[in-house]
Amino acid sequence: MIVAESSEQAAAPDQDVHRRVCCVHRIRGRAHDLGRRRARRRRRSRAFRPGARARAEREHDHRADGEHPHRSHDFHESGHPRAANVLNSPLISASCAAASKSTGIGCMHLRNTETRYGVVAQLFHWIIVALIITQFVLANKAEALPLGLAKLAVLAQHKSVGMTIFGLAVLRLAWRWLNPVPASPSDTPAWQRIAGSASHFLLYALLLIIPLLGWTMSSARNFPVSWFNLVTLPDLVQPDPTLYEWLRDAHAAAAALLFWVALVHAAAALQHHFFRRDNVLRRMLPMKLKDET
Protein backbone atom coordinates (compact mmCIF):
# COMPACT_ATOMS: atom_id res chain seq x y z
CA MET A 1 0.00 0.00 0.00
CA ILE A 2 2.76 2.35 0.88
CA VAL A 3 4.56 1.45 -2.37
CA ALA A 4 1.45 2.16 -4.46
CA GLU A 5 0.92 5.54 -2.85
CA SER A 6 4.54 6.50 -3.44
CA SER A 7 4.30 5.50 -7.11
CA GLU A 8 1.11 7.54 -7.56
CA GLN A 9 2.77 10.53 -5.95
CA ALA A 10 5.77 10.16 -8.30
CA ALA A 11 3.54 9.94 -11.38
CA ALA A 12 1.48 13.00 -10.42
CA PRO A 13 4.13 15.57 -11.46
CA ASP A 14 4.58 13.84 -14.84
CA GLN A 15 0.86 13.98 -15.51
CA ASP A 16 0.78 17.64 -14.55
CA VAL A 17 3.61 18.42 -16.99
CA HIS A 18 1.82 16.47 -19.72
CA ARG A 19 -1.38 18.44 -19.16
CA ARG A 20 0.51 21.72 -19.34
CA VAL A 21 2.25 20.74 -22.58
CA CYS A 22 -1.05 19.72 -24.15
CA CYS A 23 -2.58 23.01 -23.06
CA VAL A 24 0.27 24.97 -24.65
CA HIS A 25 -0.12 23.05 -27.92
CA ARG A 26 -3.87 23.70 -27.96
CA ILE A 27 -3.31 27.44 -27.38
CA ARG A 28 -0.72 27.61 -30.16
CA GLY A 29 -3.01 25.75 -32.54
CA ARG A 30 -5.90 28.08 -31.80
CA ALA A 31 -3.66 31.13 -32.28
CA HIS A 32 -2.42 29.74 -35.60
CA ASP A 33 -5.99 29.10 -36.78
CA LEU A 34 -7.02 32.58 -35.67
CA GLY A 35 -4.11 34.14 -37.59
CA ARG A 36 -5.02 32.23 -40.73
CA ARG A 37 -8.66 33.32 -40.47
CA ARG A 38 -7.61 36.95 -40.02
CA ALA A 39 -5.29 36.74 -43.04
CA ARG A 40 -8.11 35.32 -45.16
CA ARG A 41 -10.42 38.12 -44.06
CA ARG A 42 -7.79 40.73 -44.96
CA ARG A 43 -7.28 39.20 -48.40
CA ARG A 44 -11.01 39.13 -49.01
CA SER A 45 -11.41 42.75 -47.95
CA ARG A 46 -8.55 43.84 -50.22
CA ALA A 47 -10.00 41.88 -53.12
CA PHE A 48 -13.08 44.12 -53.13
CA ARG A 49 -11.10 47.36 -53.26
CA PRO A 50 -11.12 49.20 -56.64
CA GLY A 51 -8.35 47.93 -58.85
CA ALA A 52 -7.23 45.23 -56.45
CA ARG A 53 -8.64 42.39 -58.51
CA ALA A 54 -6.94 43.67 -61.69
CA ARG A 55 -3.67 44.08 -59.81
CA ALA A 56 -3.91 40.53 -58.50
CA GLU A 57 -4.54 39.26 -62.03
CA ARG A 58 -1.48 41.14 -63.32
CA GLU A 59 0.67 39.70 -60.55
CA HIS A 60 -0.63 36.24 -61.37
CA ASP A 61 0.27 36.74 -65.05
CA HIS A 62 3.76 37.95 -64.10
CA ARG A 63 4.32 34.90 -61.93
CA ALA A 64 3.08 32.64 -64.71
CA ASP A 65 5.63 34.22 -67.06
CA GLY A 66 8.42 33.75 -64.53
CA GLU A 67 8.77 37.48 -63.83
CA HIS A 68 8.82 39.41 -60.60
CA PRO A 69 5.26 40.64 -59.97
CA HIS A 70 6.38 44.10 -58.90
CA ARG A 71 9.21 44.73 -61.31
CA SER A 72 9.05 46.18 -64.80
CA HIS A 73 11.64 45.72 -67.53
CA ASP A 74 11.49 49.43 -68.37
CA PHE A 75 12.41 50.45 -64.84
CA HIS A 76 14.48 47.52 -63.62
CA GLU A 77 17.34 49.88 -62.83
CA SER A 78 15.46 51.38 -59.90
CA GLY A 79 15.43 48.06 -58.07
CA HIS A 80 12.56 49.27 -55.89
CA PRO A 81 9.10 47.68 -56.27
CA ARG A 82 7.20 50.77 -55.17
CA ALA A 83 9.16 53.02 -57.52
CA ALA A 84 8.51 50.61 -60.38
CA ASN A 85 4.79 50.51 -59.57
CA VAL A 86 4.57 54.30 -59.42
CA LEU A 87 6.48 54.83 -62.64
CA ASN A 88 4.46 52.18 -64.46
CA SER A 89 1.11 53.10 -62.97
CA PRO A 90 -1.83 53.64 -65.33
CA LEU A 91 -1.96 57.31 -64.36
CA ILE A 92 1.66 57.90 -65.38
CA SER A 93 1.21 55.91 -68.59
CA ALA A 94 -1.95 57.81 -69.49
CA SER A 95 -0.33 61.17 -68.77
CA CYS A 96 2.71 60.23 -70.84
CA ALA A 97 0.52 59.08 -73.73
CA ALA A 98 -1.58 62.25 -73.59
CA ALA A 99 1.51 64.47 -73.58
CA SER A 100 3.01 62.47 -76.43
CA LYS A 101 -0.16 62.84 -78.49
CA SER A 102 -0.52 66.57 -77.90
CA THR A 103 3.12 67.65 -78.18
CA GLY A 104 4.65 65.05 -80.48
CA ILE A 105 7.28 64.24 -77.86
CA GLY A 106 7.72 60.57 -77.10
CA CYS A 107 7.63 59.07 -73.62
CA MET A 108 11.23 59.03 -72.45
CA HIS A 109 13.09 56.68 -70.14
CA LEU A 110 16.40 57.22 -68.43
CA ARG A 111 17.92 54.08 -69.90
CA ASN A 112 18.00 52.86 -73.46
CA THR A 113 15.19 50.67 -74.72
CA GLU A 114 14.99 48.36 -77.69
CA THR A 115 13.64 51.16 -79.89
CA ARG A 116 15.18 54.42 -78.68
CA TYR A 117 17.98 55.99 -76.69
CA GLY A 118 17.22 57.06 -73.15
CA VAL A 119 17.41 60.54 -71.68
CA VAL A 120 20.95 60.06 -70.34
CA ALA A 121 22.35 58.88 -73.68
CA GLN A 122 20.61 61.73 -75.51
CA LEU A 123 22.01 64.30 -73.09
CA PHE A 124 25.52 62.92 -73.50
CA HIS A 125 25.17 62.98 -77.28
CA TRP A 126 23.84 66.50 -77.73
CA ILE A 127 26.02 68.11 -75.07
CA ILE A 128 29.11 66.64 -76.73
CA VAL A 129 27.87 67.83 -80.13
CA ALA A 130 27.44 71.37 -78.78
CA LEU A 131 30.88 71.30 -77.19
CA ILE A 132 32.52 70.07 -80.39
CA ILE A 133 30.97 72.96 -82.31
CA THR A 134 32.22 75.29 -79.59
CA GLN A 135 35.71 73.83 -79.94
CA PHE A 136 35.88 74.55 -83.66
CA VAL A 137 34.65 78.10 -83.06
CA LEU A 138 37.25 78.70 -80.35
CA ALA A 139 40.04 77.17 -82.46
CA ASN A 140 39.25 79.39 -85.45
CA LYS A 141 38.99 82.42 -83.18
CA ALA A 142 42.37 81.68 -81.62
CA GLU A 143 43.98 81.25 -85.05
CA ALA A 144 42.73 84.68 -86.10
CA LEU A 145 44.13 86.44 -83.02
CA PRO A 146 47.73 87.63 -82.71
CA LEU A 147 49.88 86.23 -79.95
CA GLY A 148 48.88 87.93 -76.74
CA LEU A 149 46.70 87.72 -73.67
CA ALA A 150 43.47 87.53 -75.68
CA LYS A 151 44.71 84.55 -77.68
CA LEU A 152 45.98 82.80 -74.56
CA ALA A 153 42.59 83.31 -72.89
CA VAL A 154 40.78 81.77 -75.87
CA LEU A 155 43.23 78.86 -75.92
CA ALA A 156 42.64 78.33 -72.19
CA GLN A 157 38.91 78.08 -72.86
CA HIS A 158 39.64 75.72 -75.74
CA LYS A 159 41.63 73.45 -73.44
CA SER A 160 38.95 73.49 -70.74
CA VAL A 161 36.21 72.57 -73.18
CA GLY A 162 38.44 69.85 -74.64
CA MET A 163 38.98 68.24 -71.24
CA THR A 164 35.23 68.46 -70.62
CA ILE A 165 34.63 66.56 -73.86
CA PHE A 166 37.19 63.97 -72.77
CA GLY A 167 35.44 63.41 -69.44
CA LEU A 168 31.99 63.25 -71.03
CA ALA A 169 33.26 60.80 -73.64
CA VAL A 170 34.55 58.49 -70.91
CA LEU A 171 31.23 58.68 -69.07
CA ARG A 172 29.30 58.12 -72.27
CA LEU A 173 31.33 55.04 -73.10
CA ALA A 174 30.68 53.67 -69.61
CA TRP A 175 26.96 54.37 -69.98
CA ARG A 176 26.96 52.74 -73.41
CA TRP A 177 28.61 49.66 -71.95
CA LEU A 178 25.93 49.47 -69.25
CA ASN A 179 23.08 50.21 -71.68
CA PRO A 180 23.16 48.39 -75.02
CA VAL A 181 22.18 50.67 -77.86
CA PRO A 182 18.99 50.14 -79.87
CA ALA A 183 19.33 47.85 -82.85
CA SER A 184 19.39 49.22 -86.38
CA PRO A 185 16.24 48.87 -88.49
CA SER A 186 15.84 45.37 -89.86
CA ASP A 187 15.87 46.58 -93.47
CA THR A 188 19.21 48.38 -93.15
CA PRO A 189 21.76 47.00 -95.64
CA ALA A 190 24.73 45.16 -94.20
CA TRP A 191 27.26 47.65 -95.54
CA GLN A 192 25.43 50.50 -93.81
CA ARG A 193 25.49 48.60 -90.53
CA ILE A 194 29.24 48.08 -90.87
CA ALA A 195 29.79 51.71 -91.85
CA GLY A 196 27.71 52.90 -88.92
CA SER A 197 29.63 50.78 -86.43
CA ALA A 198 32.95 51.93 -87.88
CA SER A 199 31.94 55.60 -87.72
CA HIS A 200 30.82 55.26 -84.11
CA PHE A 201 34.09 53.58 -83.17
CA LEU A 202 36.09 56.28 -84.94
CA LEU A 203 34.10 59.08 -83.33
CA TYR A 204 34.61 57.71 -79.83
CA ALA A 205 38.31 57.17 -80.49
CA LEU A 206 38.76 60.73 -81.74
CA LEU A 207 36.83 62.17 -78.78
CA LEU A 208 39.43 60.56 -76.54
CA ILE A 209 42.55 61.02 -78.66
CA ILE A 210 42.17 64.68 -79.62
CA PRO A 211 42.00 66.04 -76.04
CA LEU A 212 44.95 63.87 -75.05
CA LEU A 213 46.95 65.18 -78.02
CA GLY A 214 46.12 68.75 -77.05
CA TRP A 215 47.03 68.13 -73.42
CA THR A 216 50.35 66.53 -74.37
CA MET A 217 51.02 69.30 -76.88
CA SER A 218 50.60 71.96 -74.19
CA SER A 219 52.92 70.05 -71.88
CA ALA A 220 55.55 69.80 -74.61
CA ARG A 221 55.30 73.58 -75.11
CA ASN A 222 55.53 74.11 -71.32
CA PHE A 223 52.04 75.62 -71.19
CA PRO A 224 49.83 74.64 -68.23
CA VAL A 225 46.48 72.97 -68.77
CA SER A 226 43.70 73.83 -66.35
CA TRP A 227 40.01 73.10 -66.26
CA PHE A 228 38.29 76.50 -66.16
CA ASN A 229 40.94 77.72 -63.70
CA LEU A 230 39.59 75.34 -61.09
CA VAL A 231 41.92 72.36 -61.45
CA THR A 232 45.42 72.43 -62.91
CA LEU A 233 46.28 69.22 -64.68
CA PRO A 234 49.78 67.73 -64.46
CA ASP A 235 52.17 67.79 -67.39
CA LEU A 236 52.23 64.59 -69.41
CA VAL A 237 55.69 65.10 -70.96
CA GLN A 238 58.73 67.27 -70.48
CA PRO A 239 59.09 70.40 -72.63
CA ASP A 240 60.26 69.37 -76.09
CA PRO A 241 59.98 71.72 -79.11
CA THR A 242 60.33 68.89 -81.64
CA LEU A 243 57.64 66.82 -79.95
CA TYR A 244 55.44 69.90 -79.76
CA GLU A 245 55.61 70.42 -83.53
CA TRP A 246 54.68 66.80 -84.19
CA LEU A 247 51.82 66.85 -81.69
CA ARG A 248 50.47 70.10 -83.11
CA ASP A 249 50.26 68.60 -86.59
CA ALA A 250 48.69 65.40 -85.23
CA HIS A 251 46.16 67.40 -83.21
CA ALA A 252 45.15 69.43 -86.26
CA ALA A 253 44.88 66.32 -88.46
CA ALA A 254 42.76 64.48 -85.89
CA ALA A 255 40.48 67.50 -85.52
CA ALA A 256 40.01 67.67 -89.29
CA LEU A 257 39.23 63.95 -89.37
CA LEU A 258 36.68 64.42 -86.60
CA PHE A 259 35.00 67.19 -88.59
CA TRP A 260 34.56 65.02 -91.68
CA VAL A 261 33.51 61.89 -89.79
CA ALA A 262 30.93 63.90 -87.84
CA LEU A 263 29.69 65.46 -91.08
CA VAL A 264 29.25 62.03 -92.69
CA HIS A 265 27.57 60.77 -89.52
CA ALA A 266 25.08 63.65 -89.56
CA ALA A 267 24.43 63.21 -93.29
CA ALA A 268 23.70 59.51 -92.76
CA ALA A 269 21.23 60.33 -89.97
CA LEU A 270 19.45 62.85 -92.20
CA GLN A 271 19.36 60.32 -95.04
CA HIS A 272 17.66 57.82 -92.75
CA HIS A 273 15.17 60.45 -91.61
CA PHE A 274 14.18 62.06 -94.92
CA PHE A 275 14.75 59.29 -97.48
CA ARG A 276 14.44 55.97 -95.69
CA ARG A 277 11.93 57.50 -93.23
CA ASP A 278 12.87 55.27 -90.32
CA ASN A 279 13.54 55.95 -86.64
CA VAL A 280 17.34 56.20 -86.71
CA LEU A 281 17.34 59.96 -86.08
CA ARG A 282 14.11 60.06 -84.10
CA ARG A 283 15.40 57.61 -81.50
CA MET A 284 18.10 60.15 -80.53
CA LEU A 285 15.51 62.94 -80.26
CA PRO A 286 12.63 63.52 -77.81
CA MET A 287 10.18 62.76 -80.62
CA LYS A 288 7.56 60.11 -81.16
CA LEU A 289 8.74 57.15 -83.16
CA LYS A 290 6.98 56.11 -86.33
CA ASP A 291 5.21 53.21 -84.65
CA GLU A 292 4.24 55.11 -81.50
CA THR A 293 0.61 56.11 -81.14
Q: Which residue has the higher pLDDT, 41 or 247?
A: 247
Residue 90 lies in a domain: no
Residue 128 lies in a domain: yes
Residue 146 lies in a domain: yes
**Sign of the alpha-carbon torsion through 246, 142, 262, 121:** positive
Residue 177 lies in a domain: yes
Q: Assign residue 154 the CATH number of its domain.
A: 1.20.950
State the pLDDT at residue 14: 58
Long-range contacts of residues 107-113, Cβ cutoff 8 Å, at least 24 apart = 107/292, 108/286, 109/74, 109/75, 110/77, 111/77, 111/179, 112/179, 112/180, 112/181, 112/182, 113/74, 113/182
User: What confidence tier does 185 reach under pLDDT thresholds 50, 70, 90?
Assistant: confident
Q: Which residue has the higher pLDDT, 245 or 55?
A: 245
Q: How many residues does the chain have?
A: 293
Three-state DSSP at 88 gives coil
Whether the pLDDT of residue 48 is over 60: the answer is: no
Residue-averaged pLDDT of the chain: 78
> 150-165: per-residue pLDDT in tens?
999 999 999 999 999 9
CA 63 to each of CA 60, 115, 186, 281: distance values in angstroms, whole numbers, following the listed order = 5, 26, 32, 37
Q: Which residues pair with 227 in a beta bridge?
A: 231
Give the total number of structural domains in the chain.
Answer: 1
Q: How far apart are CA 257 and CA 191, in angstroms?
A: 21
Residue 150 lies in a domain: yes
- Nearest C-alpha neighbor of 85 from the set 58, 114, 64, 48: 58
Three-state DSSP at 92 gives helix
Long-range contacts of residues 119-122, Cβ cutoff 8 Å, at least 24 apart = 120/175, 120/179, 121/172, 121/175, 121/176, 121/179, 121/181, 121/284, 122/284, 122/285, 122/286
Q: How far apart are CA 4 and CA 146, in angstroms?
A: 125
Residue 2 lies in a domain: no
Contact 140, 203 (CB under 8 A): no
226: phi then psi, degrees, rounded to nearest 5: -125, 160
Residue 228 lies in a domain: yes
CA 166 to each of CA 13, 17, 199: distance values in angstroms, whole numbers, following the listed order = 85, 79, 18
Residue 190 lies in a domain: yes
Average pLDDT over residues 195-221: 95
> In terms of residue numbers, what domain contains 244?
119-284
